[in-house]
């Protein structure tokens, strides 16, 4: 029996992946950073037999049959990268460090952890000690697009762009060495406006981009924003970072509101919080901005040095807008020095 444990972080995108083509390739490049506290862990046991592959999936030690189709699809799409895992039995036990009902999507972190673990088991079988980071990211991406940005830590760009040599639609590329120090310790305080699962999945949202009336405009915007963001990250320019970050967040939700059918994932408290954040920033001239995922929750981003001023503001004025006052104080996870 081969047993392996792996973990991977969630990530938050500044330039959003919204719309796909082919097999889980993005319509536009996206850029995110991985988190420290929001992590998925997998514990996998593989037994080789001559029988056709049997898969069992457990979430926190309990069997969860309804996740199986997603796992089978993952294995099928990745068959060429894990050719030694076609027979025998695999038991996957997965868990998250963040609460089930925190509204934090776990597909990026869980698919990234799964990709790392299965790649590693396949390597153990072949006796290879070569680690191909691009392949692990590609495997994760084939499970969930944004997971391709969660197999390596820190700032990761995914999707072809003229702005980065070696950028690819197939895998994420870390860009930490091109990012100024102030962004190496960026904080992400997550305002949990609603804990439950969202009403429309990202997969459906991506599909609605295929015939979206603003599709071309969106692609131009994302490509332009990648260019501006890369420069702002390099220069340590928090003001430009803020303007790209908030434009992307609001555009993502504007695209949902103008899809056919249209929908919104924002809640009244999301808007209320956004207005409060902007007012506080204008009053105190602080480096502080927000982004949104595909849901009502708000990610507040700021440099670590500002925590002393910003954390009390969050606790006093923003926590009351959250379900059960829930705020998750997270921050970037950077690669460990070699
Ligand atoms: C809004 O990666 O969850 O979070 O590829 O269908 O699994 P699938 O979608 P997913 O989409 C994430 C979209 C987003 C923006 C982002 O993370 O870039």
In the predicted structure, residue 336 carries a pLDDT above the cut 90: no
Residue 101 has a pLDDT of 66
Ligand 1 pocket test target in 294, 296, 297, 299 with most atoms within 8 Å of CB: 294
Question: Tens of pLDDT along 114-157?
Answer: 999 999 999 999 998 888 999 999 999 999 999 999 999 999 99
Q: How far is the CA of 276 from the centre of ligand 1 (A)?
A: 27
Mean pLDDT of 167-174: 98
Dihedral pair phi/psi, residue 91, rounded to 5°: -115, 120
Q: How far is the CA of 146 from the centre of ligand 1 (A)?
A: 5
Q: Which uninterrupted H or E stretch holds 329?
A: strand 327-331
pLDDT band for 252, please (50, 70, 90 cuts). very high
* Strand 298-302 relative to strand 62-63, pairing: unpaired
Query: Please, which residues bridge with residue 292 across strands?
Result: 298
Residue 130 has a pLDDT of 86
Per the CB < 8 A criterion, the answer to whether 89 and 55 are in contact is yes
Q: Across the chain, what does the average pLDDT equal?
A: 95
Residue 337 has a pLDDT of 76
Per the CB < 8 A criterion, the answer to whether 55 and 92 are in contact is yes
Q: How far is the CA of 189 from the centre of ligand 1 (A)?
A: 20
Supply angle C-alpha 99, 287, 13, rounded to 5: 45
Question: Tens of pLDDT along 66-122?
Answer: 889 999 999 999 999 999 999 999 999 999 998 776 667 789 999 999 999 999 999
Mean pLDDT of 168-195: 97
Ligand 1 pocket test target in 77, 143, 145 with most atoms within 8 Å of CB: 145
Per the CB < 8 A criterion, the answer to whether 255 and 210 are in contact is no
Residue 171 has a pLDDT of 98
Q: How far is the CA of 18 from the centre of ligand 1 (A)?
A: 7
Residue 99 has a pLDDT of 73
Binding pocket residue ranges, ligand 1, CB within 6 Å: 13, 16-18, 24, 30, 105, 107, 144-146, 202-203, 206, 252, 293-294
What DSSP string describes 79-112? TTT-TT-SEEEEEEEEEESS-GGGS---HHHHHH
In the predicted structure, residue 300 carries a pLDDT above the cut 80: yes
Query: In whole angstroms, what is the distance from residue 109 CA to residue 331 CA?
Result: 15
Q: How far is the CA of 29 from the centre of ligand 1 (A)?
A: 12
- Which is nearest to 290 in space by CA: 256, 253, 335, 334? 253
Query: In whole angstroms, what is the distance from residue 251 CA to residue 6 CA?
Result: 35
Q: Which sign does the torsion angle of CA 108, 26, 301, 175 carry? A: positive
In the predicted structure, residue 158 carries a pLDDT above the cut 70: yes
- Using CA positions, which residue lies closest to atom 3 of ligand 1? 202
Q: Which comes out higher in pLDDT, residue 338 or 173?
A: 173
Q: Examine residue 261 and say whether the peptide bond preceding it is cis (omega within 30 degrees of 0).
A: yes
How many angstroms separate the Cα of 75 from the Cα of each of 15, 86, 108, 311?
A: 29, 9, 16, 43
What is the percentage of the chain residues whose pLDDT exceeds 70? 99
């Amino acid at each position: 029996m081969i047993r392996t444990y792996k973990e991977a972080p969630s990530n938050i995108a500044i330039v959003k992946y919204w719309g796909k083509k082919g097999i889980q390739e993005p319509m536009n490049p996206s850029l995110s950073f991985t988190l420290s506290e929001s992590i998925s862990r997998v514990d996998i046991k593989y037994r080789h037999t001559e029988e056709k592959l049997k898969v069992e999936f457990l979430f926190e030690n309990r069997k969860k049959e309804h996740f199986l189709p997603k796992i089978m699809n993952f294995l099928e799409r990745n068959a060429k990268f894990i050719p030694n895992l076609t027979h025998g039995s695999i038991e996957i036990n997965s868990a998250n460090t963040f609460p089930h009902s925190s509204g934090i999507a776990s597909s990026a972190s869980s698919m990234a952890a799964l990709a790392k673990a299965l790649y590693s088991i396949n390597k153990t079988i072949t006796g290879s000690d070569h680690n191909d980071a691009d392949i692990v990211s590609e495997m994760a991406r084939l499970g969930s697009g944004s997971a391709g940005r969660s197999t390596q830590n820190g700032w990761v760009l995914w999707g072809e762009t003229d702005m980065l040599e070696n950028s690819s639609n197939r895998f994420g590329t870390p860009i930490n060495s091109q990012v100024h120090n102030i962004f190496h310790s960026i904080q992400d305080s997550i305002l949990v406006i609603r804990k439950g699962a969202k009403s429309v999945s990202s997969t459906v949202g991506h599909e609605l981009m295929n015939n979206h009336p603003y599709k071309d405009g969106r692609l131009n915007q994302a490509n332009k924003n990648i260019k501006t963001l890369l420069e702002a990250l390099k220069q340590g320019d928090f003001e430009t970072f803020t303007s790209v970050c908030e434009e992307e967040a609001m555009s993502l939700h504007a695209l949902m509101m103008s899809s056919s059918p249209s929908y919104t994932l924002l809640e009244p408290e999301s808007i209320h919080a956004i207005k409060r954040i902007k007012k506080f920033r204008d009053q105190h001239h602080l480096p502080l901005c927000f982004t949104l995922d595909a849901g009502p929750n708000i990610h507040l981003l700021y440099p670590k040095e500002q925590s002393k001023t910003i954390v009390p503001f969050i606790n006093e004025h923003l926590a009351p807008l959250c379900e059960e006052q829930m705020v998750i104080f997270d921050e970037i996870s950077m690669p460990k020095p070699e």
